[in-house]
A and B are shown apart, each in its own frame.
Chain A
């Protein structure tokens, strides 16, 4: 977000700052009425079809898709940071095994941050090196946390693999098929930026204090770890897991609708129309599930989505991105507890972009609170 006053100096808004337009941005357009999500002018559907996450992260962070040489340079920077400090990996062994995977992951990041020189903090860190380090360190540590949950040691990165492929390799311990890599990459692309959602706001607040980008990302991850936010894809998948087939899904959905159930992965504060990210990922989910002999789950999902949208669509409630990503991550072999992690890895790109956009002029964020005691 650009650090200037909003265009409208007096505004009406609800609890949770619902409806408040806090300022301007050039990063993304989320058009919640006509199903559009644009990063710097490009639609996510187009990006998913034609480019990789490396290119999209460059676009979101720096404003333009890289040309050939800029891309090589950016990829090189990302590869250069694939090996976080050993102490961060060791931290996994210093916390109880039974702790929440996202809490363990957080601890590895806070320890890694202890090994960043202070020169890397704001404002000198606000350049390409820092976002690249954050993207690659977090991916390596997230993969290590996933492996750790299976009581496996971390794997060394493979410099021949791209961002998506290398993460899958380090997390799963096998080199992904081309389709798997493309599908996962697509999920990173559509989740790379999404305006001032709660996690981006948390990151922006932290960055507005003059703290380093890594600190901002930690706050964003905190928000994302909440069950109302990033963990929603896990909940949506678990809901689906309880349904045997399409018929069961339809029966259960009708019954649940009748008692006013709230479905995880459905409805969105901004989208009152079908979520364009769902549209972009569904073909990949369907293909991956079919390749892994899990067609049934695809039909179950579709049946549930159709039932829920038929009933609630007229009220603006549709499947959101959290309902679909689990259907990509499950056939890849990621455990449901790890589903929020790829979301973290992708969306932090957008948080950092908002922090970088805000930094030159933005004052410290500090709203008011009314005293009712």
Chain B
């Protein structure tokens, strides 16, 4: 039977297959675009139609009554929120926020101005030292460990936030949701239910997005059978990147520098004319508006009204319109980090914290995809073609 060529970069390819049989023949472009890195049951992403679904449930449905803890459970276990494991999972997720005293001390030993993505990564690394002793067999128990990680990252982040705010450590209330705990640390007060809903919405939308760079870095590390905390350190390292989660920080830094909508418009024109970049635009997968943006733009407008920051929303909207006018022809569209960054800011996060808030969400999808891949994963080892100098002798040697 002749082997089928999968035109993964063609418009008609929607990434759903009955099964995946290696080897495959596909399109391959720069940045491994078009390459099939694996098969998953966790999520479906079709960049050409803008479709995104977790375990078969479209994100639009999950966004209606957003519950990040339920979505973590769904992504990681494949079970809906009414399944018998859901309650225990939620309790465990919340309880795993509690950190060993030594880890808290390590975080507190860092300068409060340390970039929070770096502090968070150091915390994850230290926590891994507490979770795993030398010689422990990783294979047996890793399932449960991977599940704990989402809650642990939240615990670390709240501690990082409190340290930045010069507030002492506090135990998280096990009855309180992850979002409530993080918002309390951000605002230093009991959050309003609408803020809790919007943080859940952001986390649900950010939770999984195919094998993006952080997830792929994590999968490659996992394919070597490293300890799971190394996978997370790798994922967080990629999330830091200015083209990745780090862009959410740049978005806010850019918007907060604009005096008013007219200034924003001038700045966009000037920046693009000079070949510069507007953060929050462009995505390697989408050559059409990101469907998550539609949801977040609306949430951003409502939140800005509620917080009396209509001025900031206007600046964002004008920036989006002006940049879209210039960039749409080049197939560069606004991405999730644009309104994501704005919303995190309206929820009390300074720009540097936005990538860490994304990291929380992304942990759920990342551990789900990595965990799923462990059964079948093979060491990732592609090739490159050598185009360097031909074989040569050392200088000073004969021949």
Tell me the A residues contacting B by CB distance below 8 Å: 1-30, 36, 38, 40-43, 46-47, 50-51, 65, 87, 90-91, 94-96, 98-101, 103-104, 106-107, 110-111, 113-114, 118, 121-122, 195-199, 201-202, 205-212, 215-216, 218-219, 221-230, 269-270, 337, 361-373
Contacts and interface: CB of A to CB of B under 8 A. Distances in A.
A187 B213 CA distance: 32
A111 B129 contact: no
A196 B384 contact: yes
Interface string B8-45: 10000001111110111111111111111111111111
B23 A122 contact: no
Given A99-B133, A99-B134, A337-B134, A368 B8 contact: yes
21 contacts: A3-B30, A11-B26, A14-B378, A21-B385, A94-B106, A95-B102, A101-B134, A107-B125, A110-B125, A114-B111, A122-B241, A198-B223, A223-B234, A227-B225, A362-B30, A366-B211, A366-B213, A368-B37, A369-B37, A370-B36, A372-B20
B23 A210 contact: no
Given A43-B391, A106-B125, A371-B44, A208 B31 contact: yes
Interface stretch (B112-120, B297-305, B339-347): B112-120
B238 to A, nearest CB: 4
B28 A6 contact: yes
Contact of A371 (B27, B43, B212, B397): B43
Interface stretch (B178-186, B214-222, B356-364): B214-222
Contacts of A99: 128-130, 132-134
Nearest to A227: B225
Given A26-B389, A96-B130, A222 B380 contact: no
B387 interface: yes
A111 B118 CA distance: 8
Interface residues of B, number: 111
A100 B133 contact: yes
B252 interface: no
B28 A222 contact: no
A111 B105 CA distance: 13
B194 to A, nearest CB: 33
B109 A87 contact: yes
A104 B242 CA distance: 28
B213 A111 contact: no
Given A210-B244, A368-B36, A103 B229 contact: yes
Contacts of A19: 23, 382-383
B168 interface: no
Contacts of A29: 386, 388, 391
Given A94-B106, A219-B238, A51 B210 contact: no
A209 B383 contact: no
Given A101-B134, A201-B220, A269-B379, A95 B27 contact: no
B45 to A, nearest CB: 8
Looking at B124, B243, B284, which has the most chain A CB atoms within 10 Å of its CB?
Answer: B243
Given A113-B118, A211-B246, A366-B31, A371 B213 contact: no
Given A198-B223, A223-B220, A91 B15 contact: no
A230 to B, nearest CB: 8
B1 interface: no
Contacts of B220: 198, 201-202, 205, 219, 223
B246 A197 contact: no
Contacts of A373: 40-42, 44, 55-56
Interface string B189-224: 000000000000000000000111110110011111
A56 B229 CA distance: 32
Given A209-B243, A228-B225, A366 B121 contact: no
Contacts of A47: 394
B251 to A, nearest CB: 14
Contacts of A4: 30
B159 to A, nearest CB: 14
Contacts of A122: 241-242
B375 to A, nearest CB: 12
A103 B128 contact: yes
B230 interface: yes
B106 A205 contact: no
Given A206-B213, A363-B31, 15 more contacts: A5-B28, A5-B29, A8-B28, A13-B23, A15-B378, A94-B109, A106-B125, A107-B125, A195-B384, A205-B216, A210-B241, A223-B220, A229-B226, A270-B383, A371-B41
